[in-house]
């Protein structure tokens, strides 16, 4: 159990009105906890949201030793506040930390910290349909030292951002660019870890895709550039000839919590599922035979993101009829229904914030 010291703001901000968008508005408070080698994690605290004072020599600025997580808090119709599988974010934090030589945080301490900060700022959880409070835990290396080494000090923080409905006008299928020049991650690298470096490596591909009118990049494996890995910040699923297929976790793909939830729900529904290697050629062939029935991305931000178009070199695969697929819609309704407390939580995924 952390002994969290809470200092409340004396000048609360006005709550936002109108469209929230994503990631630009922050709540009144933040959680902080320091790590010092030899002492461990210490001084867990909640303070008014504030800027940081850091040495320009801090290791995070030079060699990128940092990690982040992303999850959401939801307000149910009865006024209860819920998190969705926060223990999974805590476990993934430690897998990321191990890869980046960042000290682990006990799972129960991580979950306690998330609950504590959400509880303090619970009035910031928006209630309009599709909205939620985005939670961003992250850790940075703070030792002021220009040598390449593991930092002796770290700062763990959690900030909160009320976020709008991902889709303003329903679940609209997006266009996806299959990138054949740049790669995001390789086996043995840090593709499975949630760390800024993976995103830095993805920007050039994203710019290319945007310039061509596609909203997201689908990455191929870094060795043969043949097998499907994942989308920028989402895992990818295909419905091929009645089967729900997704790339298997191979070390260079981020193990999404939404991905895991979708697989469990599909199995519960009795749908055949497969986690395997999928090549671009498999997709082109399925498309040519009329068997590529649905394509969707999964991630905390959008939950389910239907894909209407996939471009690979000179081929453009148009999926479905420009509308969300039947299974995609059903999965969206089921996952968000569980998150919001509208349907029975048979998997025990919802966690109440006191
Ligand atoms: C966070 C993330 C995902 C989605 O994970 P969820 O736990 O479902 O939100 C997928 N890919 C990448 C690269 C990510 O960073």
Mutate to test the pocket of ligand 1, among 300, 302, 339 (most ligand atoms within 8 A of CB): 300
Q: Residue 274: which residues within 8 A CB-CB, separation 6 or more?
A: 243, 244, 245, 246
- Flag whether the pTM goes above 0.75: yes
Distance 102 CA to ligand 1 centre (A): 20
Q: Is the CB of 300 under 6 A from ligand 1?
A: yes
In Å, how far are 205, 214, 322 from 211, measured between CA atoms?
10, 7, 22
Q: Is the CB of 265 under 6 A from ligand 1?
A: no
Mutate to test the pocket of ligand 1, among 95, 233, 264 (most ligand atoms within 8 A of CB): 233
Q: What is the pLDDT of residues 284-332, one digit of tens each?
A: 999 999 999 999 999 999 999 999 999 999 999 999 887 899 999 999 9
Distance 349 CA to ligand 1 centre (A): 17
Mutate to test the pocket of ligand 1, among 96, 194, 246, 303 (most ligand atoms within 8 A of CB): 194
Residues of the chain with pLDDT under 70: 167-170
Helix 86-100 with 257-268: angle, nearest 10 deg: 130
Q: What is the C-alpha radius of gyration for the chain, rounded to an integer number of angstroms?
A: 21
**Shortest-distance atom of ligand 1 to CA 261:** 8
Closest CA to ligand 1's atom 2: 233
239/229 Cα distance (integer angstroms): 16
Q: Is the CB of 235 under 6 A from ligand 1?
A: yes
12 and 28 Cβ atoms separated by less than 8 Å: yes
Q: Residue 109: which residues within 8 A CB-CB, separation 6 or more?
A: 1, 2, 41, 44
Closest CA to ligand 1's atom 14: 233
Helix 107-120 with 86-100: angle, nearest 10 deg: 120
At 124, list the tokens.
């910031």
**Shortest-distance atom of ligand 1 to CA 301:** 9
Distance 299 CA to ligand 1 centre (A): 5
110 and 89 Cβ atoms separated by less than 8 Å: yes
Closest CA to ligand 1's atom 1: 233
Q: Is the CB of 159 under 6 A from ligand 1?
A: no
Instruction: Give the pLDDT of residue 170.
Output: 67
Question: Longest C-alpha distance within the chain, in Å?
Answer: 64
In Å, how far are 84, 179, 190, 192, 202 from 249, measured between CA atoms?
22, 19, 13, 8, 19
Q: Is the CB of 299 under 6 A from ligand 1?
A: yes
Q: Is the CB of 233 under 6 A from ligand 1?
A: yes
**Shortest-distance atom of ligand 1 to CA 258:** 8
Distance 95 CA to ligand 1 centre (A): 14
- The 3-class secondary structure across the chain, one letter per residue, is CCCCEECCCCCCCCCCCCCCCCCCCCCCEEEEEEEECCCEEEEEEEEECCCCCCCCCEHHHHHCCEEECCEEEEECCCCCEEEECHHHHHHHHHHHHHHHCCCCCCHHHHHHHHHHHHHHCHHHCCCCCCCEEEEEEEEEECCECCCCCCCCEEEEEEEEEEECCCCCCCCCCEEEEECCCCCCCCCCCCCCCCCHHHHHHHHHHHHHHHHCCCCEEEEECCCCCCEEEEECCEEEEEEECCEEEEECCCCCCCCCHHHHHHHHHHHHCCCCEEEECCEHHHHHHHHHCCCEEEEEEEECCCEEEEEEEEEECCEEEECCCCCCCHHHHHHHHHHHHHHCCCCCCCCCCEEEEC
Mutate to test the pocket of ligand 1, among 67, 179, 232, 235 (most ligand atoms within 8 A of CB): 235
Q: Is the CB of 247 under 6 A from ligand 1?
A: no
Q: Nearest-CA neighbor of 189 among 286, 100, 106, 81?
A: 100
9/266 Cα distance (integer angstroms): 45
1/111 Cα distance (integer angstroms): 10
Q: Is the CB of 254 under 6 A from ligand 1?
A: yes
Q: What are phi and psi of 92, to 5 degrees?
A: -65, -35
At 117, list the tokens.
């900060």
């Amino acid at each position: 159990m952390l002994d969290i010291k809470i200092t409340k703001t004396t000048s609360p901000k006005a709550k936002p009105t109108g469209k929230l968008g994503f990631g630009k508005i922050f709540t009144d408070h933040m959680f902080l906890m320091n790590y010092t080698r030899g002492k461990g994690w210490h001084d867990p605290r909640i303070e008014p949201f504030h800027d940081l004072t850091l040495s320009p020599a801090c290791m995070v600025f030079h060699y990128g030793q940092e990690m982040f997580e992303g999850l959401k808090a939801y307000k149910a119709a009865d006024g209860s506040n819920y998190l969705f599988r926060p223990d999974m974010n805590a476990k993934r934090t430690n897998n990321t930390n191990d890869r980046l030589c960042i000290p682990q945080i006990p799972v129960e301490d991580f979950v306690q910290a998330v609950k504590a900060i959400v509880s303090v700022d619970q009035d910031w959880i928006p209630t309009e349909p599709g909205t939620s409070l985005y939670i961003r835990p992250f850790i940075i290396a703070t030792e002021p030292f220009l040598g390449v080494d593991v930092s002796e000090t770290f700062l763990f923080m959690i900030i909160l951002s009320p976020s709008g409905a991902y889709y303003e006008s329903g679940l609209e299928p997006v266009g996806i660019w299959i990138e054949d020049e740049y790669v995001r991650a390789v086996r043995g690298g840090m593709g499975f870890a949630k760390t800024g470096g993976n995103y830095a490596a993805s920007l050039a591909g994203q710019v290319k895709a945007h310039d061509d009118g596609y909203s997201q990049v689908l990455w191929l494996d870094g060795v043969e550039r043949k097998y499907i890995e994942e989308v920028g910040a989402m895992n990818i699923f295909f419905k091929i000839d009645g089967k729900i297929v997704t790339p298997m976790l191979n070390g260079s793909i981020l193990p999404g919590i939404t991905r895991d939830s979708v697989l469990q729900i599909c199995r519960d529904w009795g749908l055949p599922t497969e986690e395997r290697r999928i090549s671009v050629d498999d997709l082109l062939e399925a498309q040519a035979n009329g068997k590529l029935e649905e394509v969707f991305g999964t991630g905390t931000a959008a939950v389910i993101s239907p894909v209407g178009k996939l471009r690979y070199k000179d081929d453009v695969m148009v999926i479905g009829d420009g509308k969300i697929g039947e299974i995609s819609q059903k999965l969206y309704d089921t996952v968000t229904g569980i998150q919001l407390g509208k349907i029975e939580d048979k998997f025990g995924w919802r966690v109440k914030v006191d």
